[in-house]
Structure 1
């Protein structure tokens, strides 16, 4: 098969990593595999950067040149991404107007002919995150008439007026508008959420889409929304179980300079602006755990912890880890991994930790409930319940060795069920089913 995937970038967080892993494994399986992205960071020839189009005026083209220069410095200089977007908006007056009025920005003409980026017409198009400021949903009707098109939901943005997760709001069911959370990601300047919702509904009504999600929780939202599908299917995210697997806990701790015997917990910290990851509850959970387990070793990987109340604690703060092998060592070094999210379609770090034999304490939200077997592979607590998470950690550390070892073994078995090989087989099998149903599309290039 010739498979074209579409995503925000070829390097980054969960969605980027998942799309890249599929793209790479498809090639290893002998498929023709391409990845079209809004931002390309690798030198891989099969990664295709979606062109941004030519700005409509001479001044606009000059501004766009400045935006490209700023974009090339992302990751090296702070603020370059914001500068690049600001210049891009000035270069495209319609995009600037959309941003100013709170509408979804749509001036991304380069994505109109995604199949044309490929050396040969793809048989199938598999879209991941489409809200990374690079894609216009308005091209979906045309694309979906040429090749079978899969929309892989990573969050709830596709069915809302702007937000990636609605958490405590049900307006998405009726058409949004009067939004109580304009500031949450991706933020809006003004409330155009009803218009955004209606535009999405109109686009989907003209498209033929196959919709997948990594959890039944997220797929159920799609089925209850304005997003119709030729077929809905749950295919969970996969992890590399050759990397994320049980190992020597003592060696992992020694490599980090940690005590071999002290109880140890690992947190993945997030920016204070990321309400979905709930850093406030994470800080409270750390305080509650260290008060009740004074010898506790706390590891935090990711954004620096902003809470002043934690400054007196001996917390090992580590930057975001891109190397999967290093991340696996962190999981192995911990007795427990703690995940405090308010919303999560699928906690990839949850399955990674379990696959390394580390039980997980997590919020009972979204797809996480489908991943953890409470009492066997970890503990589930209500969202925002820092005290409950501390209770779970204390109970685990108070248990006898046999009980803790049994949970570790169960966690490892459960994590291994979410293998990348399983995900690859599931998607390739689904692609074949779709192409068998629609033989007139895809294989001939439309």
Structure 2
């Protein structure tokens, strides 16, 4: 069984590409023939990671073509990359696509699915919308009928002068109806969203993302770790993360508002992610420690393990790796029951949710648990929950079983 795992980037390219990287490393460590075919890589190319878009010069030209096309809403309409992709996957028994936005047209997946068994993991809602990642952010349901007049037209990954979301939605419907694609959803929430969209033909299989529990774990000496990181050894430390701290969807402003409600506890806010220059003024009166975007997983583990709790205030999300990583580090998660995140926490045992999704309510819950000491009693349960629900072994076996069944069904057809 030879598997091609396809994503737009390497492990540094966001959560979905990290999941693709994790699948490849986990399968390879078990002797399965697998390669990670990425559209770009900031880490360079290796025996496991290969460029799906060909040699350097053609790759650069193709990237420029795609960039120009996206400006006019044609990035997903015209499959510039299709010949490169078809050539790259020619010797594999199955192709597993992950994050496709801005890198691969639905027509490319459609054509590959006519030649090879294809699996596609839904890391956001774009596989069944006109291209937006989370229509829930703007309470839009046009994708259930016909897209157009898109309220997120100027947001990534659309960011277009022309609105071609209606055509893009039709291409996705064609792919799901006439293509031969087996779909995967990391959360039951994403599975339900896909079904209720009316745009997918077959119910996605739910396979949770994994967290590497040998890379993410708690510390035996939190005092020493905090000192090394420049944190108050005795104070309340709260972590909050977002790839881009300016991303409105991630609800960073709600997190800041919650922290300000806790000023009587003198918390330190650890802010993990690419900086937002406007945050400084909004953080007036808050003791905070910016880490920047952490590509090094060991450094990320240290900051998470040094924190008393992880704050999650996203407005829309699937199954955030940040939550699984925090839990693996023994750090309880407090926040909003958004999307698939609601399935990741056992309320009162591994964290708590503010059901009304209000910063004031969340601050009150945190304050109560700090006062009672319950917050500090959740660490062991958080770690055990991560091991039981997001472990590598289950993640790998569920994918292997799916791959084998998909190949078998393809050969029968």
Fold match (TM-score > 0.5):
yes
Larger Rg: 1
Tell me if structure 2 keeps the 8 A contact 1:353–1:360.
yes
Q: CA deviation at 1:148?
A: 1.2
1:134-173 mapped onto 2 (5 Å cutoff): 134-167=103-136, 168-173=139-144
Q: Does 1:327 align with 2:300?
A: yes
Q: Secondary structure at the match of 2:113?
A: helix
**Aligned match of 1:415 in 386, 408, 413?**
386
Q: CA deviation at 1:285?
A: 2.0
Which residue of structure 2 lines up, in the alignment, with residue 247 of structure 1?
A: 219
Q: Does 1:208 align with 2:209?
A: no
For residues 98 and 269 of structure 1, do their structure 2 counterparts lie closer, same or farther at Cα, with a shift above 3 Å needed? closer
Q: CA deviation at 1:116?
A: 3.0
Q: Secondary structure at the match of 2:36?
A: strand
Deviations 1:89-120 (A, max 9, x none): 4xx7xx746632x34444443333535325x7
Q: Does 1:126 align with 2:96?
A: yes
The ranges of structure 1 where at least 4 consecutive aligned residues each deviate by more than 4 angstroms after the TM superposition are 95-98
**Aligned match of 2:329 in 338, 348, 356?**
356
Which residue of structure 2 lines up, in the alignment, with residue 261 of structure 1?
A: 234
Q: CA deviation at 1:207?
A: 0.2
Tell me if structure 2 keeps the 8 A contact 1:127–1:150.
yes
**Aligned partners of 2:245 and 2:36: how far apart in 1?**
32
**Aligned partners of 1:352 and 1:374: how far apart in 2?**
17
**Aligned partners of 1:103 and 1:383: how far apart in 2?**
40
Which residue of structure 2 lines up, in the alignment, with residue 428 of structure 1?
A: 400
Tell me if structure 2 keeps the 8 A contact 1:278–1:342.
yes
Tell me if structure 2 keeps the 8 A contact 1:53–1:108.
no
For residues 127 and 43 of structure 1, do their structure 2 counterparts lie closer, same or farther at Cα, with a shift above 3 Å needed? same
**Aligned match of 2:189 in 217, 223, 236?**
217
**Aligned partners of 2:201 and 2:232: how far apart in 1?**
53
For residues 355 and 97 of structure 1, do their structure 2 counterparts lie closer, same or farther at Cα, with a shift above 3 Å needed? closer
Choose 352-361 or 275-284, whichever is displaced more. Answer: 275-284
**Aligned partners of 1:115 and 1:99: how far apart in 2?**
25
**Which sections of structure 2, spanning at least 5 residues, go unmatched?**
none
1:363-374 mapped onto 2 (5 Å cutoff): 363-374=336-347
Tell me if structure 2 keeps the 8 A contact 1:52–1:108.
no
For residues 98 and 24 of structure 1, do their structure 2 counterparts lie closer, same or farther at Cα, with a shift above 3 Å needed? closer
Deviations 1:185-206 (A, max 9, x none): 3233233322221222123322
For residues 115 and 27 of structure 1, do their structure 2 counterparts lie closer, same or farther at Cα, with a shift above 3 Å needed? farther
TM-score, L = length of structure 1: 0.84
Q: CA deviation at 1:440?
A: 4.9
**Aligned partners of 2:213 and 2:189: how far apart in 1?**
24
**Which sections of structure 1, spanning at least 5 residues, go unmatched?**
55-63, 70-83, 442-446
For residues 231 and 310 of structure 1, do their structure 2 counterparts lie closer, same or farther at Cα, with a shift above 3 Å needed? closer
Which residue of structure 1 lines up, in the alignment, with residue 377 of structure 2?
A: 406
For residues 226 and 113 of structure 1, do their structure 2 counterparts lie closer, same or farther at Cα, with a shift above 3 Å needed? farther
TM-score, L = length of structure 2: 0.90
Q: Does 1:50 align with 2:58?
A: no
Q: Secondary structure at the match of 1:424?
A: helix
Q: CA deviation at 1:228?
A: 3.1
Which residue of structure 2 lines up, in the alignment, with residue 61 of structure 1?
A: none
1:229-308 mapped onto 2 (5 Å cutoff): 229=201, 232-248=204-220, 249-269=222-242, 271=244, 273-289=246-262, 291-293=263-265, 295-305=266-276, 306-307=278-279, 308=281
Q: CA deviation at 1:378?
A: 0.6
Which residue of structure 2 lines up, in the alignment, with residue 439 of structure 1?
A: 411
